[in-house]
């Protein structure tokens, strides 16, 4: 099963308005299908995600953990190009993690970003009048300079959220992590090779390596285990037709697909378990 893209509860839409389940909904539905199927002896979770909304990641992982506790089954994660921040967080459901040497992973942390246009407004003589019920109702408003106490409040809340992230990692991999935790948990992203050195993953390998290992953990002796795929939901002819058309007319972007979803005002000011390109922790 796959975890691909930005992890949110927002429905996905085609360029002509057809609506599909969110990344979070699809992940939970697929996991429930596989974990409950008695024919499935092990699950391989293929991850290619920069993370996403904090609440979506938290709710989804808790849902997966509850199902795994009720229906115990080996789970192996296979990282593709990126399994960072919330993508890594979600992978804590796995008993073993594989990655490519060039995979970008880690980015254990929380980020919130706020626009501020107060200087621009002053330059052009634009004013914003705000009527509010309390001193902090317009906290970190883009239309005025932030107060020091506001920034400190949001920073404290960020530390609270990142403690939740690191606790999940410690519970899943605490005995495997090697090195200075302050460095590992400071938000930096690691290559797959470096992630192996510090214990964030278990081995360097491909999807096929992960499948072979999952089969072994599931007690499957066949050299080429049978791969079970969830049946695609049947749709009516009209939706299928428009779905095919939408793929052809969807505008192309020069940005990596997940980041089209990040560059959107609905994420401004929202705490995120997400990797935004900065630097690679190769110290």
The per-residue pLDDT for 254 is: 37
The model carries a pTM of 0.86
The answer to whether residue 112 is catalytic is: no
The per-residue pLDDT for 280 is: 40
Token pair for 208: 């096929």
**Domain extents for the chain?**
2-274
Look at residues 93, 92, 72, 105 and name the one whose alpha carbon lies nearest to residue 196.
Answer: 105
Tell me if 107 sits within 8 A of 275, measured CB to CB.
yes
pLDDT digits over 139-182, tens only? 999 999 999 999 999 999 999 999 999 999 999 998 999 999 99
Catalytic residue among 56, 85, 91, 141: 85
What does each C-alpha distance from 178 to 106, 170, 196, 203 come to in angstroms?
Answer: 14, 12, 9, 14
Superfamily of domain 2-274 in the CATH hierarchy: 2-enoyl-CoA Hydratase; Chain A, domain 1 (3.90.226.10)
Token pair for 89: 């967080």
The answer to whether residue 85 is catalytic is: yes
Of 20-29, 109-118, 208-217, 258-267, the one with minimum mean pLDDT is 258-267
Catalytic residue among 132, 137, 176, 230: 137
Q: Give the C-alpha separation, 235 to 255, whole Å.
A: 30
Q: Give the C-alpha separation, 6 to 257, whole Å.
A: 9
The predicted model gives 261-280 an average pLDDT of 68
Secondary structure element (H or E) that encloses residue 99, with its range = strand 96-99
Residue 76 pairs with which residues in a beta bridge? 44, 96
12-13 vs 19-20, strand pairing mode = antiparallel
Name the percent of the chain lying above pLDDT 70: 84
């Amino acid at each position: 099963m796959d975890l691909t893209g930005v992890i949110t509860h927002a429905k996905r839409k085609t360029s002509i308005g057809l609506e599909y389940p969110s990344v979070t909904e699809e992940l939970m539905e697929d996991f429930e299908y596989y974990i409950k199927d008695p024919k499935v002896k092990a699950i391989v979770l293929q991850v290619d995600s920069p993370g996403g909304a904090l609440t979506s990641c938290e709710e989804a992982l808790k849902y997966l953990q509850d199902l795994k506790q009720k229906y115990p089954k080996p789970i192996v994660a296979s990282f593709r190009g990126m399994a960072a921040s919330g993508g890594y967080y979600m992978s804590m459901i796995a008993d073993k993690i594989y990655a490519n040497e060039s995979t970008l992973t880690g980015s254990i942390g929380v980020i919130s970003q706020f626009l501020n246009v107060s200087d621009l407004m002053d330059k052009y003589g634009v004013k914003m009048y705000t009527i509010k019920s309390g001193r902090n109702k317009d906290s970190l408003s883009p239309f005025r300079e932030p107060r020091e106490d506001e920034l400190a409040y949001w920073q404290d809340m960020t530390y609270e959220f990142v403690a939740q992230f690191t606790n999940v990692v410690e519970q899943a991999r605490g005995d495997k992590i090697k090195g200075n935790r302050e460095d590992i948990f400071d938000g930096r992203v690691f290559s797959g090779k470096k992630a192996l050195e510090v214990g964030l993953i278990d081995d360097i390998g491909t999807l096929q390596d992960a499948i072979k290992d999952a089969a072994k953990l599931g007690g499957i002796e066949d050299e080429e285990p049978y791969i079970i795929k969830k049946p695609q939901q049947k749709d009516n002819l009209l939706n299928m037709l428009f779905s095919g058309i939408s793929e052809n007319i969807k505008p192309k972007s020069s940005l990596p697909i997940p980041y089209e979803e990040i560059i959107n005002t609905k994420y401004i000011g929202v705490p995120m378990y997400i990797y935004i390109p900065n630097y690679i922790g190769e110290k």
